[in-house]
Amino acid sequence: MNEELRPMQVDTYRAIQAALKGYKVRHEKVPIIENIDNAKEAHATLVKIEITSDGYLKIYNNGEIMTEAQFADYSKFAVSDKNPGDQSGMFGEGAKLILGADFDVSVITISDDGTDFQSCYWENGKEGNRQVLITDSGDYRGPKAADMKIDKYGRAMANRLRTAEAGTTQYIKMPQANIDWIGRHVLETINDNYLACILSGDLDIRFNDRKVESPHEIAFHSSKDFKVTAENKEHKGSCDFYISDEVLDEESKLTNVVMTTYGKRVKTIRNETIEASLQDKLKGKVTCIVKCDSLSEFVTAAKEDFRTNPAVTAVQKKTADMFKAFIIDNNFNKGFSKGTKGVQASRNLMSSIFDKISSMGLTDILPSKVSHKIKMRSNSGKEKGKSVVRPAGAPGPDEIDNDLVPLAPQQPRTQTGDKEGETSTYEEALAGRLSVKAQRQRQTGIPKIEFNNLGASEATVIYNIDRDAFMLNLDKTPFKETYSHDKNQFNIHTRYIVFDWMMQNAITNGALDLTITEVLDYYKNFHQDSWL
């Protein structure tokens, strides 16, 4: 028997509730997050959030208003004219998610262009009978409130129309306890999710008529654009660098790489490698806000992470390299100032370290090479332009890069004849007469080692990239005990500590890709020699 198929029935409340539970924050925060997302997509410059005297959460934005067709779709769940990667919202779900709460909720939305308005009403029923109910008949629109259909819902919308402004306004009614909780956590919600907008000034967000400011004394430093390609698609974005006057704790969600799409924070990544490379006085104070809107299609339903995807991995790797290069370029890495100098150690001391790491095949751990690789990855994504590193005065390698160049001057390509097998005079003149032209290769010298009394608060060993020099702190163990008393022990400690610093610097900055076993073997190899 042939029967016509019919659409599957859906419990709308349960479907919306499941989507709401995808969020990892309290349900009361969701309308604020979703409305600000929608405001940004409507190109708003102003969002106003207010707790009204009669207990409504009012959220307004001055962005582009919806057309009649868009407003008709507005009351439909999971219906949207947007595409993945074109938005930060949830494809027609966001504004309705609060209807999935397990407490009473009603929502009035008014879209007003200053001449005509459109309005609709939603609610989620009553306890024991939860269902999503809406009005979307088109009878609740016109140039003034008197044009609205007058019924229970029309009167409720007409009352709100008096305080609506040109733009889009949503009025959300909840139990008073929930409204009170929102009032205490509005600023926290905004700062957790939209601090990038506040810092950049892209969006003016106000709560109870007061502009929301950053809770941290943090200043913009610089910005750098990037682009990466993954799965044949180009992703463009920027890294905005900020420096705080105070140490930013974990609760600030600013330590230390902040991934955003469309101005909303998706994820904060604490990169311990980057943090470890900073000077002590800057630890916890430097932030990179990554802006890459095209990654929005990979944001999870909870909006607090990305799905695993090659594009996400590529952007995160690229921006980490850019952060490291930013630290190096601005001399924020562990080091001492150009003006700080000390007693220079014997050149043989560093030569002995280099000779050993050279015999171990570890010349890539030299800090100048590590810094060079970081900057190459930051600029091009590739570790190109590698330096040839060898001790000063050492002979060059037996094999050199070369170009083949003619010994004879170039001659016109005249033909001696048209018969098969005849050649040009140019080819005859050059046959078997090619020379090798050597290509000059850049050499990097051996880092200096200097000693100075830097104070007990400074690190034991620090490195200055501009001078390619290590500074050993004579006020720290083991140098303060051995410098003037036991030269052999002092030299042993110097060799071991400088080697350890170079190894850790290379590993943390991705210049060495080693297993734990391989690292331990290198340490064992280095330490097995007698240095006395």
CATH code of 205's domain? 3.30.565.10
253: three-class secondary structure by DSSP = coil
496: three-class secondary structure by DSSP = helix
How many whole angstroms separate alpha carbon 231 and alpha carbon 29?
35
pLDDT of residue 41 exceeding 50: yes
Phi, psi of 310 (to 5 degrees): -55, -35
- State whether 290 and 371 are in the same domain: no
Residue where a domain terminates, one of 274, 302, 329 = 329
- State whether 232 and 358 are in the same domain: no
- Which of 125-134, 385-394, 441-450, 500-509 is predicted least confidently? 385-394
pLDDT of residue 242 exceeding 50: yes
Q: Which domain holds residue 478?
A: 343-394+443-527
> Cα angle at 117 between 115 and 121, to 5 degrees?
170
Question: 302-339: per-residue pLDDT in tens?
Answer: 778 899 999 999 999 899 989 988 988 888 876 544 45
Phi, psi of 295 (to 5 degrees): -80, -5
Q: Which residues of 178-193 are buried (b: 16+ CB within 10 A; e: fewer)?
A: bbeebbebbbebbbbb
Is the C-alpha dihedral spanning 508, 512, 515, 521 positive or negative? negative
Residue at 6 is within a domain: no
- State whether 186 and 288 are in the same domain: no
How many whole angstroms separate alpha carbon 222 and alpha carbon 287?
11
pLDDT of residue 413 exceeding 70: no
DSSP state of 453: -
Please report the pLDDT score of residue 440 as a whole number.
40
- State whether 241 and 92 are in the same domain: no
CATH number at residue 263: 3.30.230
- Which of 331-345, 367-381, 449-463 is predicted least confidently? 331-345
Question: 434-447: per-residue pLDDT in tens?
Answer: 444 444 433 345 78
How many whole angstroms separate alpha carbon 230 and alpha carbon 238?
17
Instruction: Give the pLDDT band (50/70/90) at residue 388.
Output: very low
Question: 137-163: per-residue pLDDT in tens?
Answer: 777 888 877 777 788 888 888 889 888
- Helices within 431-514 (DSSP H only): 479-482, 487-508
Please report the pLDDT score of residue 334 as a whole number.
67
- State whether 173 and 104 are in the same domain: yes
- State whether 284 and 433 are in the same domain: no
How many structural domains are present in the chain?
4
**What is the overall mean pLDDT for the chain?**
81
How many whole angstroms separate alpha carbon 138 and alpha carbon 64?
20
Residue at 334 is within a domain: no
> Cα angle at 351 between 345 and 354, to 5 degrees?
125
Tokens of 365: 């751990």
Please report the pLDDT score of residue 140 as a whole number.
85
Residue at 4 is within a domain: no
- State whether 105 and 189 are in the same domain: yes
CA distances from 97 to 63, 68, 100 (A): 21, 22, 6
Tokens of 125: 């029923």
| Residue owning tokens 């034991």 | 460
- State whether 74 and 16 are in the same domain: yes
Please give the model's pTM, rounded to 2 decimal places.
Answer: 0.67
Q: E strand or H helix at 321, and its extent? A: helix 310-329
- Tell me which amino acid residue 76 is: K
| R_g of the chain, CA atoms, integer Å | 33
- State whether 311 and 349 are in the same domain: no
Please report the pLDDT score of residue 291 as a whole number.
95
- State whether 419 and 475 are in the same domain: no
